[in-house]
Amino acid sequence: MTLREAKVGQTVRVTKLEGAGAVKRRIMDMGITKGETIFVRKVAPLGDPIEITVRGYELSLRKADGEMIQVQPA
């Protein structure tokens, strides 16, 4: 399952980061790494952006970035 597929109000754990180069680095710079717990706060009606909470910080991700983050229910 990807972060994009996670439901609003769900807490998930990152299992794998896909992608390479600058995109993967940008995701990791946000504090999203393997094993990190993410709470999905809000998803816009068309799926872009996805608002999440990571390590106490509220972040917005693009739909394409959410597809690169593999997660499982926490």
Give me the sheet containing 69-73, strands edge to edge: 57-61, 50-54, 37-43, 11-17, 69-73
Reported in sequence order, the residue ranges of the chain that DSSP labels E, i.e. its strands, are 11-17, 37-43, 50-54, 57-61, 69-73
Task: Say what the pLDDT of residue 74 is.
Answer: 85
CA nearest to 69, candidates 38, 43, 46, 47: 38
pTM reported for the whole predicted model: 0.86
Per-residue pLDDT tens digits for 27-46: 888 899 999 999 999 988 87
The total domain count for the chain is 1
At 49, which CATH number? Answer: 2.30.30.90
* Domain region containing 28: 3-73
